[in-house]
Amino acid sequence: MAGKKQFDMDTALDAAMLQFWRAGYADTSVDDLSRVTGLNRSSIYSSLGGKDTLFLRCLDRYAARYGDKYDAALSCAASEPLAAVRAFFDVTLERIADPELPDGCLIAQSVMAIPALSPAVAAHARQALGFQRLRLRAALKAGRMTDQDAETFAVHAAAVNQSLAVMSRGGANPAQLLAVVDVTVDALSQALRA
């Protein structure tokens, strides 16, 4: 259609997601989003929604992209719970090591920014964080842990996973991050033997 600029929705959403991931919700303006997506302000609002709507779409995109990887990593939990949890952490460590991606975790930094978020966006960020605990809990239960132990280790592993993202943003090196994972996997190993 002449005169109407066409754009690729996936490319625009990925660019917006990376902008929110790098700078955070509060420090990302609509002008920043316009710059990274190549869309003018009115196109952003008409095609992608306002800043809150776009942020929710980006948060969902991030959660789905990495959630699928976490699910695949945990898929062997019934037969190999330690290998599954190690693979779960490997997803995070590989994401952190990717030089094309910002440090940290979009979900973790979104939860830390809750005071600056609208109630709807804050609730969505909390829900995204909660999915990680639920995913881990289900995997650990499949690995024959009791309900209580699965819940305790799921909370712990989710907290460790988020701390890896925060530590990477703070400059921790890969060896330090791997050492944190090793302590958690060793603790899980002992619990599974008990």
The ranges assigned to domains in the chain are 51-193
* Mean of the per-residue pLDDT values of the chain: 92
CA nearest to 32, candidates 49, 18, 19: 19
Cβ count near 52 (within 10 Å): 14
Confidence at 47, pLDDT banded by 50, 70, 90: confident
What's residue 97's pLDDT? 92
> Residue 45 pLDDT more than 90?
no
pLDDT of the residue at 27: 94
Nearest Cα to 108, choosing from 46, 152, 49, 66? 66
Cα–Cα distance, 175 to 181 (Å, whole number): 10
| Among 15-19, 40-44, 61-65, 90-94, the least confident range | 40-44
Helix (H) or strand (E) run with residue 176 in it: helix 174-193
Give the pLDDT of residue 1.
44
What whole-number percentage of the chain has pLDDT above 90?
81
Query: What is the pLDDT at residue 156?
Result: 96
Q: How confident is the model at residue 6 (pLDDT cuts 50, 70, 90)?
A: low
d(CA 160, CA 23): 23
Task: Give the mean pLDDT of 32-43.
Answer: 91
For residue 138, the model assigns a pLDDT of 96
Q: Two tokens at 158?
A: 């989710």
Assign domain 51-193 to a CATH class: mainly alpha
